[in-house]
A and B are shown apart, each in its own frame.
Chain A
Amino acid sequence: MRKTLLAAVAIALPMLGSVAAAQETVKIGYIDPLSGGGASVGEGGLKTFQYLADELNAKGGILGKKVEIVPLDNKTNPQESLIQAQKAIDAGVRYVTQGNGSSVAGALSDFITKYNERNPGKEVLYFNYAAVDPILTNDKCSFAHFRWDANSDIKMEALTNYMKDTPAIKKVYLINQDYSFGQSVRSTARAMLAKKRPDIQIVGDELHPLLKITDFAPYIAKIQASGADSVVTGNWGQDIALLLKAAADAGLKVNWYTYYAGGAGGPTAIKQAGLDHKVFQITEGFANVDHKASQDYEKAFRAKVGLSLWYPRAVNEMRMFAAAAEKAKSLDPIKVGKALEGMKFEVLDGGEGFMRADDHQFFQPIYISSFGEIKPGQFDEENTGWGWTQVAKVDTPQTIVPTTCKMDRP
């Protein structure tokens, strides 16, 4: 008798605990690399989301419920990500967010779509804040997937428009990571440059293993030998930081057109190489955007987290999530998803963006900025004394690209 009673209590206690916790908190599973080659960006992302959760909680949470970020280490590995996603779902998570690696994003989007089909009433939504392979909002689009970063095609369109008007560019070298995203950057860059500037010569086209190279010196020697004057790369994480570091060591003087040169370690390497305003990046925002509210936000963020705000899109993501839940008056993922569709939103760095209902791609103003000396009072990066300065802005309407998505809606 006593044994059965004890057993009953032992079973009931954790259940009670989880029911109580589920009622009090909104859990967001953060599935990103917290170890290995992607860890430097994964850690930064986690701190950002925790800051955003604190911010929402200070205002009373979402629909009165506390927001909790559940960190899960996926080691930038698709299989591991699915294990972590299952773990998160088992722990009561109904919203997951991920950003690093389109290979991971593709697997995760597939997994969650299938999970939702098999488990009606227990659906999960996937908020993608950084994986930019266009396929995720085209052929492989899903109701469960929402993307807040501009996809790779949008970024390359803007970047090549800028390059088109820079006559000094004659020889371009492409170097990218060997997986879906890197291959997409490479082929889009080739196609767009051929159309906009047929006189530009592609002198090199490199794919290297993702997050495995620790010394880029051989690649830099090859770029040097090719006589390139500009390099185009979609590298992220340590792959961009180490690439720039090796370029700094070798004294390679070229212009860099990048997606993610501002990531951890990048600014330090650019300063070391002395590439004053020769490294460009394309983002949805940066510290020195001429917009008071976002600069104030940057100041507060840096003071508390000790990092630059590298993911303005994460701010948009969390704020829109909260707004959608308020609008739907529910935390049911399907209702939140429907509320997000077509939602218009004033983004952190100023200007209006919207979540396109057709493919769940968010459109927003994007900026090209260059890294180098700044005016007094502006934000620098990684204590280098250099910072990002705007060179071009593309407003929301000019970023809209067509989609092939045919979405199945619940």
Chain B
Amino acid sequence: MLELIVISTLNGVLYGMLLFLMASGLTVIFSMLGVLNFAHASFYMLGAFFGFQISRWFGFWPALLIAPLLAGAIGAAVERFGLRRVHKNGHVAELLFTFGLAFAIEEIVGIIWGKVPVDYRQPDILDFPAFTIFSTNYPAYKMFMLAVSVVIFIALLLALKRTRIGLIVQAALTHPHMVGHLGHNVERIFMLVFGVGTALAAVAGVIAGPSLVTQSNMAALLGPILFVVVVVGGLGSLPGAFIASLLIGLLQTFAVSINGSLASLFGPLGPDLAATWLNDIWNVTIAQIAPIMPYLLLVLILIFRPMGLLGTRET
């Protein structure tokens, strides 16, 4: 049992940190533009595919550096030449723009790399068990993923809270006009934030690609969860996104390891439902509904705390 708890905690924290890498950019962009960037998960996918391609040519370590820069540059270009123009036509246009972009990126990736998973391997140097708890090995590559995301989280926090640029970004989020009047180029700040946000998603893609599956539908699989993280954490709140990411990571991982169902909870006291349609609901285990838990959380949060855990606005 203890073994299961330790391993599940590690897996949950790791999944949560990966979610955070993506959600951090999304939540900042969200509060900046006021709309959800549906294409955000697509940059995670671009990161994974760039990482795959570059690691084929130059090896994994250059890929870890180049792929996010490349994806970030594309992200910045999307903001500069796409979103900024669309912005004039209002939120709905922006929303539709990012929606269309997500589909376009998925199709383009499918055309270039095919729709079948690509063979993106972890570097050999990290292909060994990091440690063994009880009888379970924990792969070194997963520890590496965890380390990278923790380092980035700390760097991000320091950059936002302790540097001048961070201060200006924070100010621009809430009072863009005032920041503009003070002589700062607000548009360039937005482009920078968009670029950095998409680059962070790409980092998640590069490191998650070999461990999960790199294929052209990976963005669609992960996209919805990201919105849950952002809404649960509170729009525009980095600490909120961090807590929500870990919460959802742990929730999903632990839900998988729980066998309980209504039937086992009430045991022999339960009514005889064997022949009725209720039988299915009665016997479904928590593990089976693990994948829908985050969405359940989303619904509950929207009902009882619409501003999210650490959010400040009502929208």
Binding site for B on A (CB under 8 A): 34-37, 39-40, 43, 73, 178, 204, 206-209, 212, 214-215, 217-219, 221-222, 224-225, 238, 242, 249-252
- Interchain residue pairs A-B with the least CB separation, the first 4: A35-B115, A251-B137, A225-B4, A214-B212
The segment from B7-15, B49-57, B176-184 found at the interface with A is B7-15
Pick the residue among B4, B7, B211, B291 that contacts A212 (CB under 8 A): B291
User: B102 CB to closest chain A CB, in angstroms?
Assistant: 15
Q: Which residues of A contact B115 (CB under 8 A)?
A: 34-36, 39, 73
Q: Which residues of B contact A43 (CB under 8 A)?
A: 116
> In the complex, are the beta carbons of A238 and B213 less than 8 A apart?
yes
Q: Which residues of B contact A222 (CB under 8 A)?
A: 4, 256-257, 287
List, sorted by A's number, 15 A–B pairs whose CB atoms are closer than 8 Å. A34-B115, A43-B116, A207-B287, A208-B287, A209-B291, A214-B212, A215-B11, A219-B256, A224-B136, A225-B4, A238-B117, A249-B137, A249-B139, A249-B142, A250-B7
The segment from B215-223, B237-245, B298-306 found at the interface with A is B215-223
User: B291 CB to closest chain A CB, in angstroms?
Assistant: 5
Indicate whether B3 reaches chain A with its CB closer than 8 angstroms.
yes
User: A236 CB to closest chain B CB, in angstroms?
Assistant: 15
Cα of A225 to Cα of B117 in the assembled complex, Å? 31
Pick the residue among A34, A214, A217 that contacts B11 (CB under 8 A): A217
> In the complex, are the beta carbons of A221 and B136 less than 8 A apart?
yes
> In the complex, are the beta carbons of A218 and B291 less than 8 A apart?
no
Indicate whether B132 reaches chain A with its CB closer than 8 angstroms.
yes
Query: Chain B 111-145 against A: per-residue CB contact (8 Å), 1 yes, 0 no?
Result: 00001110000000000010010011111001000
Q: Which residues of B contact A204 (CB under 8 A)?
A: 259
Indicate whether B100 reaches chain A with its CB closer than 8 angstroms.
no
User: A119 CB to closest chain B CB, in angstroms?
Assistant: 32
**Residues of B in contact with A, size category:** 35 or more
Q: Which residues of A contact B12 (CB under 8 A)?
A: 218
> In the complex, are the beta carbons of B257 and A251 less than 8 A apart?
no
> In the complex, are the beta carbons of B137 and A39 less than 8 A apart?
no
Indicate whether B110 reaches chain A with its CB closer than 8 angstroms.
yes
Count chain A CB atoms within 10 A of each CB in B132, B256, B285 and give the residue with the most.
Answer: B256
Cα of A222 to Cα of B116 in the assembled complex, Å? 29
Given the interface contacts A221-B8, A221-B11, A250-B137, does A215 sit within 8 Å of B211 by beta carbon? yes
Cα of A178 to Cα of B259 in the assembled complex, Å? 15
Nearest residue (CB) in B for A225 is B4
Nearest residue (CB) in B for A265 is B117
Nearest residue (CB) in B for A218 is B256
Query: Chain B 189-224 against A: per-residue CB contact (8 Å), 1 yes, 0 no?
Result: 000000000000000000000011101111001000
Given the interface contacts A221-B136, A250-B137, does A215 sit within 8 Å of B15 by beta carbon? yes
- What does DSSP make chain B's interface, helix, strand, loop or mixed? mixed
Count chain B CB atoms within 10 A of each CB in A40, A214, A218, A252 and give the residue with the most.
Answer: A218
Q: Which residues of A contact B212 (CB under 8 A)?
A: 214-215
Give residues of chain B (68-117) contacting chain A, Cβ–Cβ below 8 Å. 110, 115-117
Count chain A CB atoms within 10 A of each CB in B1, B132, B139 and give the residue with the most.
Answer: B139
Given the interface contacts A218-B11, A221-B257, does A35 sit within 8 Å of B217 by beta carbon? yes
Indicate whether B31 reaches chain A with its CB closer than 8 angstroms.
no
Q: Which residues of B contact A73 (CB under 8 A)?
A: 115
Cα of A209 to Cα of B218 in the assembled complex, Å? 16
Contacts A218-B257, A225-B4 supplied; 5 other A-B pairs, CB < 8 Å: A39-B117, A207-B285, A214-B212, A221-B136, A249-B129
Indicate whether B24 reaches chain A with its CB closer than 8 angstroms.
no
Indicate whether B253 reaches chain A with its CB closer than 8 angstroms.
yes
Cα of A204 to Cα of B258 in the assembled complex, Å? 11
> In the complex, are the beta carbons of B4 and A221 less than 8 A apart?
yes
User: B212 CB to closest chain A CB, in angstroms?
Assistant: 4
Cα of A58 to Cα of B163 in the assembled complex, Å? 72
Indicate whether B170 reaches chain A with its CB closer than 8 angstroms.
no
Cα of A204 to Cα of B288 in the assembled complex, Å? 13
> In the complex, are the beta carbons of B135 and A224 less than 8 A apart?
yes
User: B128 CB to closest chain A CB, in angstroms?
Assistant: 10
Cα of A186 to Cα of B291 in the assembled complex, Å? 20
Cα of A214 to Cα of B221 in the assembled complex, Å? 9
Q: Which residues of B contact A251 (CB under 8 A)?
A: 129, 132, 135-137
Nearest residue (CB) in A for B127 is A272
Cα of A73 to Cα of B137 in the assembled complex, Å? 39
Given the interface contacts A35-B115, A214-B212, A242-B213, does A221 sit within 8 Å of B7 by beta carbon? yes
Count chain A CB atoms within 10 A of each CB in B116, B135, B291 and give the residue with the most.
Answer: B116
User: B193 CB to closest chain A CB, in angstroms?
Assistant: 29
Q: Which residues of A contact B138 (CB under 8 A)?
A: 250
Cα of A35 to Cα of B117 in the assembled complex, Å? 9
Give residues of chain B (1-55) contacting chain A, Cβ–Cβ below 8 Å. 1, 3-4, 7-8, 11-12, 15
Nearest residue (CB) in A for B15 is A215
Pick the residue among A34, A35, A214, A218 that contacts B8 (CB under 8 A): A218
Count chain A CB atoms within 10 A of each CB in B11, B142, B212, B216 and give the residue with the most.
Answer: B11
Given the interface contacts A209-B291, A212-B221, does A39 sit within 8 Å of B7 by beta carbon? no
> In the complex, are the beta carbons of A214 and B135 less than 8 A apart?
no
User: B124 CB to closest chain A CB, in angstroms?
Assistant: 12
Q: Which residues of A contact B8 (CB under 8 A)?
A: 218, 221
Q: Which residues of A contact B116 (CB under 8 A)?
A: 39-40, 43
